[in-house]
Amino acid sequence: MITRVKRGGFILKREAFDLTPTGLEEAQKAYEKLKSLSERIISQINNMSDEELEDVLNQYVSIMPLIILLNLIPLELLMLMGLDMLLIGPVIIHGH
């Protein structure tokens, strides 16, 4: 899924890694799964009780930094809701 390639400019040559076509497909599948998960969380945020939202977010706390990095859930939205603590660890919600 990953290949090692030599890349370089005029002066510096370095070794890098590229995804194979299969690796690109797997990466796309993973991205789509993250995207659908983040869309579900965003669409349900206002309809969930505090306990339900806390459970959902804590279930995915380990991948939340990746979701934020890919901007699938904007960090600003989480900050407005007081949920920027997702970057640190488990969430306890005191009303949203």
Q: Is residue 33 part of a domain?
A: yes
Q: Is residue 93 part of a domain?
A: no
Q: What is the pLDDT of residues 76-89, one digit of tens each?
A: 777 776 665 555 55
Residue 48: burial class (beta carbons within 10 Å; 0-12, 13-18, 19+): middle
Total number of domains constituting the chain: 1
Q: What is the pLDDT of residues 27-75, one digit of tens each?
A: 899 999 999 988 888 887 778 777 887 787 778 878 888 888 888 887 7
Q: Is residue 45 part of a domain?
A: yes
Task: Please report where in the chains the tokens 């309809």 appear, as a residue.
Answer: 47
Task: Please report where in the chains the tokens 């990095």 appear, as a residue.
Answer: 69
Q: Is residue 92 part of a domain?
A: no
pTM exceeding 0.85:
no
Q: Is residue 58 part of a domain?
A: yes
Q: Is residue 78 part of a domain?
A: yes
Structural domain for 32, as ranges: 2-87
